[in-house]
Chain A
Amino acid sequence: MRPVARCRRLPGEGDVLITYAIKRFIMMLATLFVVASMTFFLLAAVPGDALTERTARLPEDVAARIYERYGLDKPVFERYLITMNGILHGDFGESIVHQGQTIPKVLAEKGPVSAQLGIQQVIVGVGVGLILGVIAQLRHGTWIDYLTITVSILLVSVPTMVFALLIQQVFAGNLGLFPVIGWDAGDLSYSVLPTLAGSFAYIASYARLAKASLADVTGQDYVLAAEARGLSSRQVVVRHMLRNAAIPVVTQLPMTVAMCLTGSFFIESIFSIPGVGQYYVQAVSDRDVTMVMGFTVIIAALYIVTIFVTDILYHIVDPRIRLATGSASE
């Protein structure tokens, strides 16, 4: 707009994004380093270790040899350096509790189970949630609206495990429609109840998010302007309201997907599903340092990458952000 801006060569859209991406990548590495270090020292600060129980009744020299085998005899700082060095090379080490288990092995075995369950939960939860939220807002002030909001608040307030136990009792116990517990990769009927139980929280939060975003958009001038051009109310919703209301939803979605992949401890425990979530929590209570470090760093990395992807998505969905960091066109 101003002549000053014309004289100076403004960075193009691509340059801005690349610089931004590089900066963000360095920040990501720093964040991961802090997360890994904090996890390590917190675990070291906890009294007792993975071998305390196992070596309690063993002769001193045998116990010492076991400690030596896992490197737990070394001073904390040396162990820290060894661990960090290993992580840097992608080697998290062997499980202290379960002999021969490593992070890649556990992930290959349990990861797909948790991921499949999580993705099913997200598809059902987010899908139903968005539809309910949109309907509630479009029927604003009617019984459908109030019912949706009441149910959402209920689903958000009641813990997942309560619902999990409830539907386990009703659908598996009383009605016998589905298996009570267990998992079979080839048989989807095992996944129905855990999917349902896990999707409630998503239904609730996405119904509320969709309703709120749509309500925000409803009062905007451009919606009124669209109506003033002669568009039918359906056309106004489809062409103008939904796309604008989608912005907060799209930015929330990657985080939800990241969360679902890591598995839910409660759901996996209640339905005896051999997933990552259950294993991770068990590793913490076992003080299985190598496994906890591994999972924590991987999950942290997943979240950090997700936040990064979200930012990039933001740029794609909202054209205003595309240029906000760089040149205004005039």
Chain B
Amino acid sequence: MADIANASERAAAGHRQPAVDATRASAQQRWAAAPDRASAQPLLEVEDLRVDFSTYAGVVHAVRGASFSLAAGGSLAIVGESGCGKSVTAKAVMGLVKEPGQIEAGSRILFDGEDTSGFDAKRWQRYHGSDAAIVFQEALSALDPTMRVGKQIAEPIWVHEKVSKKEALARAIELLREVGIPEPEKRARQFPHELSGGMRQRAMIASAIACEPRLLVCDEPTTALDVSIQDQILEMIRRIRDERGTAVIMITHDMGVVADIAQDIAVMYAGLVVERGRTADVFERPRHPYTAALLAAMPEMGSASGGRLRSIPGAPPDLINPPKGCPFAARCAHAMPVCAAYRPAWTDFGDGHEAACWLHDPRAPQEAATIQEGEVHGDGDNA
């Protein structure tokens, strides 16, 4: 653990490509030898998660049915564009959905087999920090501006481990050192605004891993950072997973980050998980047109297509009145009449790779069923 810092330095020195350049091939290589996940008992199971927000404009159905599971020590990326419900899903997993948001009845979040809906205040306190911890996107707003950094990192330690505040502070300084912050004694005495963006995110991570949680939820931890720092932070999260056996949920909109860090992926669109599976499988053969479009929108090194980025035409649907059928139908090049009317069922492609798309229904026209990345818009311009 002590050399997370060293690893980060190595990463900073440019031993690895920047996250955005990570290619599908590298993802495949990295996770080809991933342990068979069927053998592990899932640490986290989310079934049909639905979260609604009551607003003046109406009820926003932010998450409308998200199901996924995560093995102990595994890593799962939840991917999707802004507003698809991925952050709300992360908060729901952490039990941090606040008014006016509400987790709807019928949603199940099981942590180590235990249903979190049955948690009382005491159990939640134990869950927070020692079972599961979260790293927020914007460390500056997630750290209390009026409290010294060291004190904030020490909080989970004295709360959970019944040690004195002084001892907790000493351990907080040790944690700061572990996450690669130079002069940790000095930094611990500073206020959050006195640290750089990268250091603040490291401090957040230090606070999250202080009590060795079994699950670490990272809600776009690198989005607010510049690219070179992003890489160091990702490297650190990966090492935490590998060395401490902490399961990681990575919320992101960046496919490069997914390839870098996650064994499994769940693609969300308009509050629904539309495809899930091993990252390598999904990257190699995306089965949902939305996943394919996301992958096609990823910039590629050495591509011959003149450097122009692809985009997905149209905008995501309104979540106050979500579409009845597949939410992606309106933007999908392969949409059929049935897509707009009925929600597609899951099709299993083996090894946990599933997609919710009508194209894989036996009744669908056969030529459409083979979705290849780069063919999303039917323009034939293969990447």
- Are A and B subunits of one complex? yes
Q: Is B96 part of the binding interface, using a Cβ–Cβ cutoff of 8 Å?
A: yes
Report A-chain residues with C-beta under 8 Å of the C-beta of B191. 319-320
Instruction: Using CB atoms and an 8 Å cutoff, list the residues of chain B in contact with chain A.
Output: 91, 94, 96, 98, 121, 125-130, 133-134, 136, 138, 141-147, 155-156, 159-160, 190-191, 193-196, 204, 207, 210-211
Instruction: Using CB atoms and an 8 Å cutoff, list the residues of chain A in contact with chain B.
Output: 1, 219-222, 224-233, 235, 239-240, 243-244, 247, 317-320, 323, 328-330
Report B-chain residues with C-beta under 8 Å of the C-beta of A320. 145, 191, 193
User: B196 is contacted by which of A1, A220, A227 (Cβ under 8 Å)?
Assistant: A1
Report Cα–Cα, A230/B142, bound state, in Å.
15
Given A226-B144, A229-B155, A239-B147, A330-B195 contact (CB < 8 Å): yes
Q: Is the interface of A mostly helix, strand, loop or mixed?
A: helix
Report Cα–Cα, A217/B329, bound state, in Å.
41
Report Cα–Cα, A233/B129, bound state, in Å.
14
User: A323 is contacted by which of B128, B144, B194 (Cβ under 8 Å)?
Assistant: B194
Report Cα–Cα, A112/B96, bound state, in Å.
53
User: Would you give the shortest CB distance from B144 to chain A, in whole angstroms?
Assistant: 4
User: Would you give the shortest CB distance from A325 to chain B, in whole angstroms?
Assistant: 13
Given A1-B196, A224-B96, A231-B142 contact (CB < 8 Å): no
Report Cα–Cα, A61/B98, bound state, in Å.
83
- A244 & B156 in contact (Cβ 8 Å cutoff): no
Number of A-B contacts (CB under 8 A): 91
Report A-chain residues with C-beta under 8 Å of the C-beta of B96. 224, 227-228
Which A-B residue pairs are the 5 nearest by beta carbons? A230-B129, A229-B156, A230-B128, A221-B141, A221-B142
Report Cα–Cα, A226/B98, bound state, in Å.
14
User: Would you give the shortest CB distance from B242 to chain A, in whole angstroms?
Assistant: 23
Residue of B with least CB distance to A220: B141
User: B145 is contacted by which of A219, A319, A329 (Cβ under 8 Å)?
Assistant: A319
7 new A-B pairs (CB below 8 Å) besides A224-B142, A239-B155, A244-B144? Answer: A224-B136, A228-B133, A229-B207, A230-B130, A230-B160, A231-B159, A323-B193
Report Cα–Cα, A230/B124, bound state, in Å.
7
Report A-chain residues with C-beta under 8 Å of the C-beta of B156. 229-230
Report Cα–Cα, A240/B134, bound state, in Å.
18
User: Would you give the shortest CB distance from B51 to chain A, in whole angstroms?
Assistant: 15
User: B147 is contacted by which of A228, A235, A240, A317 (Cβ under 8 Å)?
Assistant: A240
Residue of B with least CB distance to A319: B191
Report A-chain residues with C-beta under 8 Å of the C-beta of B127. 230
Report B-chain residues with C-beta under 8 Å of the C-beta of A230. 125-130, 156, 159-160, 211
User: Would you give the shortest CB distance from A61 to chain B, in whole angstroms?
Assistant: 72
User: Would you give the shortest CB distance from B102 to chain A, in whole angstroms?
Assistant: 14
Most chain B CB neighbours (cut-off 10 Å) among A228, A240, A244, A320: A228
- B146 & A319 in contact (Cβ 8 Å cutoff): yes
- A225 & B159 in contact (Cβ 8 Å cutoff): no
Residue of A with least CB distance to B211: A230
User: Would you give the shortest CB distance from A243 to chain B, in whole angstroms?
Assistant: 5
User: B144 is contacted by which of A228, A240, A328 (Cβ under 8 Å)?
Assistant: A240
Report Cα–Cα, A317/B147, bound state, in Å.
11
User: A229 is contacted by which of B91, B129, B141, B195 (Cβ under 8 Å)?
Assistant: B129
Report Cα–Cα, A222/B193, bound state, in Å.
13
Report A-chain residues with C-beta under 8 Å of the C-beta of B136. 221, 224-225
- A243 & B196 in contact (Cβ 8 Å cutoff): no
Report Cα–Cα, A231/B136, bound state, in Å.
17
Report Cα–Cα, A319/B193, bound state, in Å.
8
Report B-chain residues with C-beta under 8 Å of the C-beta of A318. 145-146
- B125 & A231 in contact (Cβ 8 Å cutoff): yes
User: Would you give the shortest CB distance from B54 to chain A, in whole angstroms?
Assistant: 13
- B142 & A229 in contact (Cβ 8 Å cutoff): no
Report Cα–Cα, A320/B145, bound state, in Å.
7
Report B-chain residues with C-beta under 8 Å of the C-beta of A1. 196
- A229 & B143 in contact (Cβ 8 Å cutoff): no
Q: 16 A-B contacts, Cβ less than 8 Å apart? A: A1-B196, A224-B91, A225-B136, A228-B134, A229-B155, A230-B127, A231-B155, A232-B125, A239-B144, A239-B155, A240-B147, A243-B146, A243-B147, A323-B194, A329-B194, A329-B195
Report A-chain residues with C-beta under 8 Å of the C-beta of B98. 219, 224
Report Cα–Cα, A232/B127, bound state, in Å.
12
Given A221-B141, A228-B128, A319-B193, A244-B146 contact (CB < 8 Å): yes
Residue of B with least CB distance to A320: B193
Report B-chain residues with C-beta under 8 Å of the C-beta of A225. 134, 136, 142-144, 204, 207
Report A-chain residues with C-beta under 8 Å of the C-beta of B194. 323, 328-330
Report Cα–Cα, A229/B125, bound state, in Å.
8
Report A-chain residues with C-beta under 8 Å of the C-beta of B196. 1, 330
Given A235-B159, A318-B146, A229-B133 contact (CB < 8 Å): yes
Report B-chain residues with C-beta under 8 Å of the C-beta of A330. 194-196
